[in-house]
Amino acid sequence: TKSKPEGFTYDIAKSKHIRHYVSSQAWKGLVICNNVEGKGRGVFIRRWFQKEEMVCDYHGMNIKVKADIFCKNRWQEALSIYAQTFPFPCHTDMEVFGRPLTHLSSRTNLQPQCFLMDTGQWPRDIVLFIAKKDIEENAELLFDYRHNLWLKIK
């Protein structure tokens, strides 16, 4: 039986569980594969995710851009991600799941959304990946980087 998992979009910003996952990177049901044929790294799931369930966070630096490229924060400012720094300075000893997600402009199963969340240090914009549809076990997680803007920023 499939039950309602924790972390649906209507309760994410206030969820103690989600704050814990963002801070600790202890996401359930995710595994990073380092040798995906033809791609390099990718993130796969070991359990079923229901549509609108929160899957993981990006966990990196967000940058403001002039166009609506990635997602918008609480002030409707366009944000993008910057995935060039590895490992991410705040977790140099930790593997984070949002950074090795695979880009695919079609057939995506994740949608990025920005939430204001207090992770224990201060409130900040967090990019969370939400399941766009039900995702079956063993599927690769895919999202659209939107024009690959982050690849152009040096």
**How close are the terminal C-alpha atoms of the chain, in Å?**
47
Asked if 65 and 145 touch (Cβ cutoff 8 Å), the reply is no
Q: Which residue in 1, 22, 32, 19 sits closest to 141, CA to CA?
A: 32
pTM reported for the whole predicted model: 0.70
**Amino acid 85: pLDDT:** 47
Three-state DSSP state, 42: strand
Q: Which domains does the chain have, with CATH numbers?
A: 16-152 (2.170.270.10)
**Amino acid 68: pLDDT:** 41
User: What are 141's two structure tokens?
Assistant: 């997680």
Distance between CA atoms of 75 and 6, rounded to whole angstroms? 27
Confidence band of 132 (pLDDT split at 50, 70, 90) = very high
- Check residues 87 and 126 and name the one with the higher pLDDT: 126
Distance between CA atoms of 42 and 55, rounded to whole angstroms? 14
Three-state DSSP state, 91: helix
| Residue 124: count of CB within 10 angstroms of its CB | 13
